[in-house]
């Protein structure tokens, strides 16, 4: 009798991982360094793609990895999957892993589609018999027709990724690694990919998911790891890490300084940050009779208000608000630039009161409002003040349709 394999608590453990790349100005410098014939000065500059990164992924967890370009996201995935080795540190993987990294990574361009399925399946540890049993499902999912019998070097990028994703998702792995692969192909293929992704989650598979699509991260991930310039900035709740990432994007993420995100204990208005040249002093919502409210009847008109005091002269401020659900998915929002409500320059000490009026067509439920005052200075984007998840509103509804919005359809049946 085959002894049952005992699984550990964690599917993936990343411990103090470093990845150093040496960047040479000339090819000859690389050779000299390798031979050790030049020891006076360094012949290279050091690029720390990863600098002491540690985190764990629990079995059955879906963990997102986010960060700006060059933060080390793809590097850590390649180390987890064994494509590259770390300079130092350790990675433990407990479970059969399938990865969809760079387009067609691991494919032999001279082989046809079916031959590449067998090649990659063998590399993942499957026998020919096991691959043969899975082949119909793989080909059906890829849906590239007779092209499976042609060399993959003749494929379009769309066909390439269809086959790669079909292979990765249909071999029944215990751990799935996905790097920016769910937003490729046509809209029908994307829908099929996300449906399969949801099936994996429901089946309790372990998933590590890298994406710039924050809505997908918010929807699917149980936890998020935030990287920046090779360092681990945070590891925590999805909403919290997405908010921190937005600070990174505008250069206002700090550790203990007065520019970083912080909880405003005086106003209790949620996570706020900015350069301080404007301050959102008051925010509230009113109904169509100008009464302050926290609950809105679906179909009725309501207004979102913000009062802003300026601490400096600003050329042309932009005022914004957005609405999220309780999971942190950004549903809708607008700003004065989009609405073409152009502002004149403001002076230090001025106070502006802004209101956005619209009809409530969200489904019944609880929502969070975020606010911002931004602008451009010498062509560069500036964040003067942002408030995330500042206040909550409830939509009261006696009719909920499908999705986030009620389309207010009018039905006509003839005959």
Express each pLDDT in 127-175 by its tens digit. Answer: 899 999 999 999 998 889 999 999 999 988 788 888 888 888 888 889 9
Q: What pLDDT is recorded for position 156?
A: 85
Lowest mean pLDDT, pick from 26-35, 45-54, 364-373, 380-389: 26-35
- Is a pLDDT exceeding 90 seen at residue 112? yes
Express each pLDDT in 394-403 by its tens digit. Answer: 999 988 999 8
* Rounded Cα distance, 124 and 98, in Å: 7
**Number of domains composing the chain:** 2
Residue 2 lies inside a defined structural domain of this protein: no
Please, which pLDDT band fits residue 6 given cuts at 50, 70 and 90? low
Q: What pLDDT is recorded for position 5?
A: 56
Express each pLDDT in 164-183 by its tens digit. Answer: 888 888 888 899 998 876 56
Check whether residue 306 and residue 361 sit in a common domain. yes
Q: DSSP letters of 299-356? A: TSEEEEEEEEEESS-BSS-EEEEEEEETT--EEEEEETTTTT-----B-TT-EEEEEE
Residue 313 lies inside a defined structural domain of this protein: yes
| Better-scored residue on pLDDT, 120 or 89 | 89
Work out the percent of the chain whose per-residue pLDDT is above 70. Answer: 87
Express each pLDDT in 193-216 by its tens digit. Answer: 888 888 888 898 999 989 888 888
* Rounded Cα distance, 34 and 27, in Å: 11
The CATH number of residue 376's host domain is 2.70.50.60
The CATH number of residue 183's host domain is 3.40.50.300
Residue 342 lies inside a defined structural domain of this protein: yes
220 vs 19, 63, 164, 317, CA distance in Å? 28, 8, 21, 35
Q: What pLDDT is recorded for position 269?
A: 54
Which residue, among 359, 278, 350, has the nearest Cα to 319 in the 3D structure?
278
Are the CB atoms for 287 and 273 separated by under 8 Å? no
Q: What pLDDT is recorded for position 100?
A: 77
3-state helix, strand, coil in the chain (%, to 5): 25, 35, 40
Check whether residue 83 and residue 25 sit in a common domain. yes
Check whether residue 272 and residue 223 sit in a common domain. no
Residue 403 lies inside a defined structural domain of this protein: no
Check whether residue 60 and residue 140 sit in a common domain. yes
Please, which pLDDT band fits residue 118 given cuts at 50, 70 and 90? very high
Residue written as token pair 């999912």: 141
Q: What pLDDT is recorded for position 345?
A: 94
For 167, the domain range is 10-236
Check whether residue 222 and residue 361 sit in a common domain. no
Check whether residue 154 and residue 295 sit in a common domain. no
Residue 55 lies inside a defined structural domain of this protein: yes
Residue 112 lies inside a defined structural domain of this protein: yes
Check whether residue 212 and residue 333 sit in a common domain. no
Check whether residue 273 and residue 353 sit in a common domain. yes
Check whether residue 193 and residue 279 sit in a common domain. no
Check whether residue 119 and residue 204 sit in a common domain. yes
Residue 355 lies inside a defined structural domain of this protein: yes
- Is a pLDDT exceeding 70 seen at residue 266? no
Check whether residue 156 and residue 273 sit in a common domain. no
Q: What pLDDT is recorded for position 259?
A: 39
What's the mean pLDDT in 241-265? Answer: 65
Express each pLDDT in 44-101 by its tens digit. Answer: 677 889 999 999 999 999 999 999 988 999 899 999 988 899 999 999 999 888 887 7
- Overall residue count recorded for the chain in this entry: 415
Check whether residue 226 and residue 272 sit in a common domain. no
Mean of per-residue pLDDT scores for the chain:
86
Q: DSSP letters of 205-272? A: -EEEEE-S-HHHHHHH-SEEEEEETTEEEEEE-HHHHHHHHHHHHTT---SSSTTS-EE-TTTT--EE
Q: What pLDDT is recorded for position 157?
A: 77
> Which of 44-58, 345-359, 377-391: highest mean pLDDT?
345-359
> Which of 193-207, 213-227, 363-377: highest mean pLDDT?
363-377
Residue 139 lies inside a defined structural domain of this protein: yes
Q: What pLDDT is recorded for position 167?
A: 86
| Chain centroid to CA 226 | 10
Lowest mean pLDDT, pick from 19-23, 99-103, 300-304: 99-103
* Rounded Cα distance, 28 and 33, in Å: 9
């Amino acid at each position: 009798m085959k002894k049952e394999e005992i699984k550990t608590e964690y599917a993936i453990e990343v411990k103090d991982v470093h990845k150093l790349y040496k960047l040479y100005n000339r090819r000859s410098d690389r050779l000299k360094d390798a031979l050790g014939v030049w020891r006076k000065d360094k012949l290279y500059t050091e690029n720390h793609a990863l600098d002491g990164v540690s985190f764990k992924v629990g079995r059955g967890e879906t963990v997102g990895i986010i960060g700006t370009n060059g933060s080390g996201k793809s590097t850590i995935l390649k180390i987890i999957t064994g494509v590259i080795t770390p300079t130092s540190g350790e990675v433990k993987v407990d479970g059969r892993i399938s990865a969809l990294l760079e387009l067609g990574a691991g494919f032999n361009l001279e082989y046809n589609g079916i031959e590449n399925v067998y090649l990659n399946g063998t590399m993942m540890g499957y026998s020919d018999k096991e691959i043969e049993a899975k082949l119909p499902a793989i080909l059906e999912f890829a849906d590239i027709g007779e092209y499976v019998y042609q060399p993959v070097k003749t494929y379009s990028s769309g066909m390439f990724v269809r086959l790669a994703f079909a292979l990765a998702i249909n071999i029944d792995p215990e751990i799935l690694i996905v790097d920016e692969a769910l937003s490729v192909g046509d809209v029908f293929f994307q829908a099929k990919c996300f449906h399969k992704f949801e099936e994996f989650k429901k089946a309790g598979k372990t998933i590590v998911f890298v994406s710039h699509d924050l809505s997908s991260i918010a929807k699917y991930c149980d936890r998020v790891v935030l990287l920046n310039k090779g360092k681990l900035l945070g590891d925590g709740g999805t909403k919290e890490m997405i908010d921190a990432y937005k600070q990174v994007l505008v250069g206002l993420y700090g550790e203990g300084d007065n520019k970083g995100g912080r909880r405003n204990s005086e106003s209790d208005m949620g996570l706020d940050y900015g350069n301080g040249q404007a301050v959102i002093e008051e925010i509230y919502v009113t109904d169509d009779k100008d009464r302050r409210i926290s609950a809105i009847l679906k179909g009725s008109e309501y207004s979102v208000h913000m009062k802003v005091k300026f601490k400096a002269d600003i050329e042309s401020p932009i005022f914004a608000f957005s609405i999220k659900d309780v999971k942190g998915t950004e549903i809708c929002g607008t700003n004065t630039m989009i609405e073409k409500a152009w502002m004149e320059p403001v002076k230090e000490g001025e106070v502006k009161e802004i209101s956005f009026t619209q009809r409530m067509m969200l489904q019944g439920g609880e929502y969070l409002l975020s606010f911002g005052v931004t602008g451009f200075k010498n062509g560069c984007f500036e964040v003067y003040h942002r408030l995330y998840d500042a206040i909550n509103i409830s939509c009261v509804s006696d009719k909920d349709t499908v999705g986030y919005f009620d389309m207010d359809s009018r039905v006509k049946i003839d005959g």
